[in-house]
Amino acid sequence: MAGEITRQHVNFRFFRVLPEWRRLTEAEKEKGRKEFAEVVKRYQSKMIILSYSLVGLRAEADFMLWRISERLEDFNEMSSALLKTALGKYITIPYSYLAVTKRSMYVDKHQHEGAESSRTHVVPGNSKYLFVYPFIKQRQWYLLPKEERQKAMDVHIAMGHKYPSIKINTTYSFGIDDQEFVVAFEGDSATDFVDLVMDLRETQASKYTVRDTPAFTCIKKPIEQVLGDIG
């Protein structure tokens, strides 16, 4: 329909490779990597897919696919195809987060070009790193008057603007997954992100956070390099 706002489904799917994979012959591993990469490339014509390595950064996850699509079924169909590859027999899924895009109710006073919270579409950049951050807020937060929440978020948003090197992508999971939000921070400096999170801890809004773990640091790479990292 003309004028209809299309929102996106967003998935952060983490993969762990079983130890048995590394005991295969190089020919067997190459076959598995090739089949897996071919599926990723095939589905890139249907949705946005970015690949990240976590080797050496997180004990229980080796790589991650950030997938963005207007169709929820795309995630299901692609995941099924990946499991049918030679590599698919040797992977587990320790984490997978599902969310959707939505315009934030707190951004009317903070409009500027490219403001992330006013977008209904995620537009990934070219940053080296992605920091994935699922979290849940206390129920008391939602019972506060709108004016009180807005005041707290004004400070929270202003703090984020102090770090222009970090791009924020906020997505919403209410009712479709265990967390309430998944925030993906893009940047070229892990130290900038640490400083941002430390500053955000001192804001009023942060005291209403129930849980904000696990947190993931991911290195952006082409899928061939990501699969090469797993050995």
What architecture does CATH give domain 9-99? 2-Layer Sandwich (3.30)
Mind listing the pLDDT tens digit of every residue in the chain (231 residues)?
Answer: 444 568 999 999 999 999 999 999 999 999 999 999 999 999 999 999 999 999 999 999 999 999 999 999 999 999 999 999 999 999 999 999 999 999 876 554 444 444 454 467 888 889 999 999 999 999 999 999 999 999 999 998 888 889 999 999 999 999 999 999 999 999 999 999 999 999 999 988 899 999 999 999 999 999 999 999 998
- Under 8 Å CB-to-CB from 189, ≥6 apart: which residues? 129, 165
Whether 9-99 shares its CATH topology with 104-217 is answered yes
CATH code for residues 104-217: 3.30.70.1030
Phi first, then psi: give them for residue 80, nearest 5 degrees: -65, -40
Domain borders along the chain are 9-99, 104-217
Q: How far apart are CA 216 and CA 129, in angstroms?
A: 10
